[in-house]
Amino acid sequence: MLNEIKINLQNINQFVAKNDLENLKPAALDALRKLHDKTGKGNDFLGWVNLSSSISEVELMDIENTVSELSSLSEIVIVIGIGGSYLGAKAVIDALSNSFDPLLHNRKNPLVVFAGHQLSEDYLFELLEMLNGRPVSCIIISKSGTTTEPAIAFRIVKNYLENVYGKTESKRRIVAITDQSKGALKQMATKEGYKTFVIPDDVGGRFSVLTPVGLLPIAVAGFDIRQLVKGAVDMGEALMSDVPYEENICLQYAVARNALYRKGKKVEVMVNYNPKLHFLTEWWKQLYGESEGKEGKGIFPAGVDFTTDLHSMGQYIQDGERMLFETVISVKNTLHKLAVPHDDENLDQLNFMAGKRINEVNKMAEQGTMLAHIDGGVPNIRIEIPEISEYYLGALIYFFEKACGVSGYILDVNPFDQPGVEAYKKNMFALLAKPGYEKQSADLKKRL
C-alpha cells in the first residue's frame, strides 16, 4: 500500500543540474545516518524517529478508554494548546472530518474545538457563550506547562467547568498532556488529580503529533489512531537508513529542496487542491519553519489552497519574483462521487464538461496549473497519495518529519531547537510588567 505514495521530481530538472542533486546525496545519507545513530545536532530530541513503532497496546488502550470516558460526558471537547501542541491534531482532524462537521445532526463523537492557540479575547468569550450549558470536557496540552496562550485559555475553561459542574466533577472532565515530571501543568495535574498523559522528554512539540498530544484529540474526534500509527510505522520502515537513495523518498525530497534553495529558490509553497488539507500545510509550515529557519538560513515555508488561491495568489506565483518553488500534495481519489450536471440553456457554456466528475476537473486544474507555473519559472515537486485517510496521513506525517531532520542537517542547523521563539515572549512579558522584567519594560516602552 505504501508504495502508492510517490514523489515526482521530474519538474525540477530544468532548474537544477543533475550534479547539483548528486553533490548533495552524501550529505543526505550522512544526515539520515546521524538521525539513527543520534550523533547529529539536537540529538537529545530524536525520540520521534522510532516513536510510532514503540507505541504499545497499553498506551493505545489508555487513550481509547479516555476517549470513551470523555465521549460519555461531553458533546464538546475543548482542546487547548498552541504550536506543536495544537497543529498536528488540528491538521489530522480537519483532513478527515466532514467539511460541515459542526453542522451535522447525526454526529457520533464529541465536537472537538480548539482554544489557547492565540490571545483573542473575543474568541474565548464566544467559546464560553457557545457552550451555554452543553456537556463539555477539556484536554489541556502543554509540554512546558508555562506557555501563555494555553495557560490563559485553561484558566478560563477551568473556571467555567468548576462553576458549572463543581470542583469534583470538573476534575473528571479535564485531561492534561504534559511533561512526565516538570512544569506548572504537571504540578497542577498532580495536585488536582487530573488524568494525565506524558509527552516524552526527547520529542519536541512539532514532532509530537504521534504521541498523546495528537492521538488523544484525533481519537476523541472519532478517527482511527491505530491506522494513523500503522501508516507512520510502515513509512518508518520505508525510510530506514539502509534503504537506498533511489527508493528513499525522504532523502530525495530533502536533496531536491536543498538543491533548489541553493539556486535561489528561497520560498517553498505547499499546495493542496482540497481545503481539508489546509491545516496539514499549517502543521508542515511549523515543522519546517521552526526547524530550519535559524542562523540567517532556511527555506521560508508558505502555503496555498488551490484552486481558491489561484484567484488571489496565482498572479504572483505565475509572474512575481522568481524565488519560489511549489510542493504539491496530490490526492488521487475522493471519498465521494459527483459529476457536473447538463444544463439545457448552457448559458455558462459548460456543457462540454457535463457528466465529468468534479475531481477530474480539479485534476485538470492541477495539471494545467503545474505546467503554467513551470513555464513561469516555478519548479514543481509533487507528492502523490492515493486518498486522505488515517493510514496515508500517518505515513505523510512521518515522511515530512524524517525529511525535515535530514534537510535541517544538510543545511547544517540544529533542526530540533527553536531559540528564536523566545524573543517575542520576553518582550510581551516585559510590556505586561512581569516581575523581573522592569529594565526591558522601560526600554521597550520608549520604542513604542
Nearest-angstrom CA–CA distance, 32 and 380: 24
Whether 439 is catalytic is no
Among 88, 110, 200, 204, binds ligand PA5 (CB under 6 A): 204
- Do the beta carbons of residue 92 and residue 214 sit within 8 Å? yes
Whether 425 is catalytic is yes
Nearest-angstrom CA–CA distance, 85 and 209: 8
Residues 58-97: x where in contact with ligand PA5 by CB under 6 A, - otherwise, as a string:
------------------------xxxx------------
Nearest-angstrom CA–CA distance, 397 and 280: 9
Residue nearest to ligand PA5 (CB): 205
Residues 416-445: x where in contact with ligand PA5 by CB under 6 A, - otherwise, as a string:
--x---------------------------
Among 40, 200, 205, 217, binds ligand PA5 (CB under 6 A): 205
CB of 50 to ligand PA5, least distance (A): 19
CB of 189 to ligand PA5, least distance (A): 14
Q: Which is nearer to ligand PA5, 28 or 397 (CB)?
A: 397
Among 43, 71, 144, 308, binds ligand PA5 (CB under 6 A): 144
- DSSP-assigned letters across all residues of 109-175: SPEEEEESSS--HHHHHHHHHHHTT--EEEEEE-SSS--HHHHHHHHHHHHHHHHHHHHHHHHHTEE
Cis peptide before 307 (omega within 30 of 0): yes
Whether 311 is catalytic is yes
Tell me the three state secondary structure of residue 2.
Answer: helix
Q: 376: number of CA atoms within 13 Å, CB side?
A: 21
Q: Which is nearer to ligand PA5, 146 or 333 (CB)?
A: 146
Q: What does the chain come to in residues?
A: 448
CB of 253 to ligand PA5, least distance (A): 21
Instruction: Please work out the total of residues on this chain that contact ligand PA5, with binding judged by CB under 6 A.
Output: 14
Tell me the three state secondary structure of residue 269.
Answer: strand
CB of 409 to ligand PA5, least distance (A): 18
* Closest to 203 in 3D by CA, of 334, 427, 49, 321: 49
* Closest to 51 in 3D by CA, of 288, 395, 398, 416: 398
Among 90, 143, 294, 373, binds ligand PA5 (CB under 6 A): 143
Residues 102-141: x where in contact with ligand PA5 by CB under 6 A, - otherwise, as a string:
----------------------------------------
Contacts of residue 15, Cβ cutoff 8 Å, sequence gap at least 6:
260, 263, 265, 325, 377, 379
**Which active-site residues does the annotation give?**
290, 311, 425
Catalog residues that contact ligand PA5 under the rule CB under 6 A: 82-85, 142-144, 147, 150, 204-206, 290, 418
